[in-house]
Amino acid sequence: MLPLDGMTVVALEQAVAAPFATRQLADLGARVIKVERPGVGDFARGYDETVNGLASHFVWLNRSKESLTLNLKEDGAKGVLHRLIERADVFVQNLAPGAAERLGLGADELRREHPRLIHCSISGYGGGGPYAQKKAYDLLVQCEAGLVSITGTPETPSKVGISIADIAAGMYAYSGILSALLRRERAGEGAVLEVSMLEALGEWMGFPAYFAGYGDKEPQRSGASHAAIAPYGPFECGDGGVIFLGIQNEREWESFCEVVLGQPALARDERFATNSERVANRDVLHREIEAIFEGLSSEEAIERLETAKIANARMRTVRDFLDHPQLEARNRWREVGSPAGPLRALIPPVSMRGVESAMKPIPDVGEHTDAILEELGLDAGTVADLRDRGAV
């Protein structure tokens, strides 16, 4: 039995944040009915055609779901959606601000009708305040949260290379829904959840927020190095390979100087005697390290780092990651079905002993519409009428 077997989630969702939350619920066994626009579906289906003709974002976010197409501008379609919600445990939406309320799908209205329903809304900036109606895309929220200001090189601010604001919001929606389901099990009542991308990412900005709020300067951009620890970051070896290492304390610093660099006296150099001094003299420190690493291959450097018990990593490409020996050894890959045939996918990162995640196919647009309408008791004539009116 999967943890969420028997739970039904109706998701009026698009793009990344809400689909990320509901896909994780689906992986745990929940039945997730994804409501899409007739014809085109979730606009994330059209981001690219990289995965055998499918969009990489959509493939990532939508396995194990059922796709129902509804045109919610049509009353008949609204009726179908309300009948679905009557049977649902969870309703998730990330429409434009105010759209759910205009459709009669706001939290207050649905919870009056269905007191045990868990209603979750995901937005860019939350339901109140001066930014409530502002459009919110991942990059823009990264900017508003201050993340771009501390990411990149000293010369060039950069965004994070993944949709981190969407992912943060999706993670908190997912964990919030699980918490609400647990409370409902104990207290018998549903819940209203609200998650904003800005506030979710703001939680992840804790270190720089405290550093800036209580210090006398903003965190500095330091590329792939650490802004507050040295040495910590990338170093090029004699064979052109780049390795990363991180020193966490003085014991490791002494071991690094002795075993890796072969210069134990460097640990006592007053320029590098404490982490604060090493950060202040980072450029000089890096030149000292690079002078040694120029005479080592990346494999030799890693061997020395391992011997000294210093944390280290190779800089892998994404393609390298796909063939990572650790993932292979731990049997983390599965195949999932899709409209384009079987696709490779990582199993969810939380392993529950004795439980295999659902990992069901990625749906085509409207693939389950007829079956769901039949399940709701609509006869063939009614379904044909809905189709004629463009409602499904």
Q: What is the pLDDT of residues 287-313, one digit of tens each?
A: 999 999 999 999 999 999 999 999 999
Cα distance between residue 175 and residue 357, in whole Å: 17
Instruction: Respond yes or no: is residue 82 known to be catalytic.
Output: no
Both 245 and 188 in one domain: the answer is no
Whether 259 is in a domain gets the answer yes
Domain final position from 293, 315, 337: 315
Per-residue pLDDT reduced to its tens digit, 116-137:
999 999 999 998 999 999 999 9
Which parts of the chain fold into alpha helices (H)?
17-27, 56-61, 75-86, 99-102, 107-113, 138-144, 164-187, 197-204, 206-214, 250-255, 275-280, 282-293, 298-307, 318-322, 325-329, 369-375, 380-388
CATH, residue 296:
3.30.1540.10
CATH classification of the domain holding 65: 3.40.50.10540
Is it the case that residue 75 has pLDDT exceeding 90? no
> 263 and 132, same structural domain?
no
Summarised one tens digit per residue, pLDDT across range 42-64 is 999 999 999 999 999 999 999 99
* Residues 384, 302 share a domain: no
Residue 1 included in any domain = no
Residue 226 lies in a domain: no
Asked whether residue 216 is assigned to any structural domain, the reply reads no
196 and 251 both lie in a single domain: no
Q: Are residues 38 and 85 in the same domain?
A: yes
Percent share of the chain, pLDDT over 90: 90
Question: Which tokens hold the place of 102?
Answer: 């205009």
Tell me, yes or no, whether 132 and 261 share the same domain.
no
Q: Say if 181 falls within a structural domain.
A: yes
The reply to whether 152 and 245 lie within a common domain is: no
Please report the pLDDT score of residue 226 as a whole number: 86
pTM recorded for the entire structure: 0.91
Q: How, if at all, do strands 65-69 and 31-36 pair?
A: parallel
Q: Is residue 37 part of a domain?
A: yes
> 263, 283, 315 — which closes off a domain?
315
Q: Is pLDDT of 158 > 90?
A: yes
Segment 59-72 shows an average pLDDT of 97
What pLDDT does 12 receive?
97
pLDDT at res. 220: 86
Residue at 217 is within a domain: no
Same domain, 198 and 334: yes
pLDDT at 343: 97
Tell me: do 185 and 98 sit in the same domain: yes
Domain-located, residue 156: yes
Q: Active site residue: 226, 286, 324, 368, which one?
A: 226
Residues 149 and 108 in one domain: yes
pLDDT of residue 225: 87
The count of domains in the chain is 2
pLDDT in tens, 165-193: 999 999 999 999 999 999 999 999 999 99
Residue 5 pLDDT greater than 90, yes or no: yes
Dihedral angle sign, alpha carbons of residues 114, 173, 38, 343: negative
Q: What pLDDT does residue 222 have? A: 84
pLDDT, tens digit, 9 for 90 and up, residues 317-335: 999 999 999 999 999 999 9
Domain containing residue 98: 8-204+328-388
pLDDT at position 70: 96
Q: How far apart are CA 263 and CA 350, in angstroms?
A: 42
Final residue of a domain: which of 259, 281, 315?
315
Same domain for 293 and 332, yes or no, is: no
Average pLDDT over residues 354-382: 94
**Within this chain, do residues 332 and 310 fall inside the same structural domain, yes or no?**
no
